[in-house]
Structure 1
Amino acid sequence: MIDATKSLTKQQSIRKLNVWNRTSDLRIAFLFLTPSLILFSVFLFYPLIKTLFYSFHLTNAQGEASVFVGLENYQYLLTDPSFYQSIKSTCLFTLYTVPASICISLFLALLANEKLRGIGVFRVLFSSTMGISVAASAVIWLFLFHPSVGVFNNILGILHLPTIEWLISQKWALISVSIPTIWMNIGFSFLVILGGLQNIDTTLYESASIDGASYFYKLRKVTLPMLSPTLFFIATVTLINAVQSFGQIDILTKGGPNNATNLIVYSIYKEAFVNYQFGTASAQAIVLFIFIFIATILQFKFTERKVHYQ
């Protein structure tokens, strides 16, 4: 009986000690997480909650909530043709930029991964767009697209082809804005993909070469499967960046012509800081958040299945 009591007391002591250790670990973990939680709360959670709050109100010119209107701001968006146009333009812009950025970056990374003399120079050139700001890049492309003195129209003139009104034509404006965006995305995507290529085990290529595999067979069966986590990451980041594009739109087209390049982020900016309709702008921001959230979940659900983790 005494032995059983001692055993029960010992088990209770061990149980209390385990609980104390777990509590201590939680306290230490929370202590280390506190700086990150503060930053996230100030710059992410609080703005999100505030935006959600404003989306249910009408605001004055100072951006202060004045009248609670419930879902009227969202109902207004559902009947606003310009909002549907901004969604359409955003989807087309994403379709133009994301696949092209990934494919071009992958092609350049495959070239730069070859062990050739002087290849480092090309690696620097291919990644150089990452070091240029969006504003500076947009100004450069603004001159390239100029209808009279721009390089592109001068080349078309030399070839005796009709010139194109790149930024002021409703047909070409969105494509014209997509080209600089692709160019700006290449630098970051190229570096990440090149890093992924250099982390692939070379013995896989050696084994394939011994079996007589061609370059394209190794690319399809070795490189792309082993590179799939990197490509998945690049696809997710590029998609989010494309939906949130703003700087190049503001400098190149101001959302025109006829709202052809009025992406949803620029539409939010105009609604808030040009029309001073902060409630409607907040509703658009919430819609954008939901759109990005759903797109990311779908990408993880359907694309991650094909990702090959080592």
Structure 2
Amino acid sequence: MNDITVRTETDYAIEFNKIKKIHRIQSFFKGILFLLPSILLFSVFLFYPMMKTIYLSFFLTDNSGGATTVYVGLDNFKAIFSSPIFLQSLKVTLLFVVYTVPGTVLISLVLAILANEKLRGIGIFRTIFSSTMGISVAAASVFWMFLFHPTIGWLNQILATLGIEAIGWLTDPDWALLSVSISTIWMNIGFTFLILLGGLQSIDSYLYESADIDGGASYFYKLRRITIPMLSPTLFFVITVSFINAFQTFGQVDMLTRGGPQNETNVIVYSIYQEAFMNYQHGSASAQAIVLFVIILVLTLIQFKLGERKVHYQ
């Protein structure tokens, strides 16, 4: 009798496991069906181009870039790292990141802290601070092109009234990258400001009330001990996104300087564009794109490894 009972319980357990496995498989395929539109879009616009780029980086191609001609292995990578133009583009890109990311984040943070104050009419200033988010790169570049114009530009006219010699903002190699960086900071402030303002408004007010009750903490003490630590997840996100976007900058460089003068604003993405669509060297351009991908990936992983330790989650 005991043997029959044990055998029945064992059969029940086996049957239960089978049913559980069937439900798990059904749930998996249901999930795949829901994800299928995203998978198709990612396959067409992300995975296929990535695989195609890796494939082309090992070949020479014809002028159209559509057909490979000669397999060259790693020669494309060796060629770009021996090219002074590509090495210059690496240097320019790193400088551009250094110029734009800290400036964008710091200015946006200050504006967000000011706009978070409960003052009459503060909504107008919030709209002004975030307005650059709604302006396209092309339109913003045209606007800054007029500001930087050597003769009719407002910046040089202001310098003239102060008795200072005019500056070739976009034509002088010493000023061109800085000028593009200034325009980029202005373009990116809107998005960064909105994200940081949302992070500030999500901080619980009881933390500030507790600080006031405990010892009447000063404004800067609360900023240093409460606001910045509580805002650290948002700051980490903003810095990471700004960092990646800076490496991928193209539009304003193309509109303002076209990589000049003397390749002083020739960032990596613009170098890839020149190699692929001006020189018709799609293999070399693909190799540069892979190098850019690896650089962004490695630096982002380092940023996550080092920066996330200082992030304070509520």
1:51 to 47, 50, 53: 53
1:236 equivalenced with 2:236 (yes/no) = no
The residue that corresponds to 2:268 in the other structure is 264
1:182 equivalenced with 2:207 (yes/no) = no
2:305 to 265, 280, 301: 301
Cα shift readout 1:241-273 (whole Å, capped 9, x = no counterpart): 111111100111010011000000000000011
The residue that corresponds to 2:285 in the other structure is 281
The residue that corresponds to 2:85 in the other structure is 82
Distance 1:210 1:224 in 2: 20
1:162 to 131, 145, 165: 165
1:86-165 matched pairs, under 5 angstroms: 86-165=89-168
| Deviation, structure 1 residue 21 | 1.6
Paired AA for residue 258 in structure 1: Q
2:37 to 35, 41, 49: 35
SS in 2 for 1:58: strand
TM-score (norm. length: structure 2): 0.98
Paired AA for residue 116 in structure 1: L
| Deviation, structure 1 residue 66 | 1.0
1:207 equivalenced with 2:210 (yes/no) = yes
SS in 2 for 1:149: coil
Distance 2:76 2:17 in 1: 55
Cα shift readout 1:92-143 (whole Å, capped 9, x = no counterpart): 0000000000000000000000000000000000000000000000000000
Runs of 4+ residues over 2 Å off in structure 1: none
The residue that corresponds to 2:13 in the other structure is 11
1:62 to 55, 61, 64: 64
For structure 2, list consecutive stretches of 5 or more residues without a partner in the other structure: none
The answer to which of 125-134 and 286-295 deviates more is 286-295
SS in 1 for 2:118: coil
TM-score (norm. length: structure 1): 0.99
Distance 1:62 1:274 in 2: 11
| Deviation, structure 1 residue 29 | 1.1
Paired AA for residue 71 in structure 1: L
Paired AA for residue 248 in structure 1: Q
The answer to which of 149-158 and 86-95 deviates more is 149-158
| Deviation, structure 1 residue 163 | 1.6
- Identical columns (%): 60
1:217 equivalenced with 2:218 (yes/no) = no
Distance 2:68 2:224 in 1: 56
2:26 to 24, 27, 34: 24
1:246 equivalenced with 2:246 (yes/no) = no
Cα shift readout 1:22-48 (whole Å, capped 9, x = no counterpart): 111111111111111111110000000
1:198 to 193, 196, 201: 201
Distance 1:216 1:65 in 2: 62
Distance 1:39 1:309 in 2: 33
SS in 1 for 2:69: strand
**Cα RMSD, aligned residues only:** 0.7
SS in 2 for 1:66: strand
Distance 1:118 1:56 in 2: 59
The number of aligned residues is 310
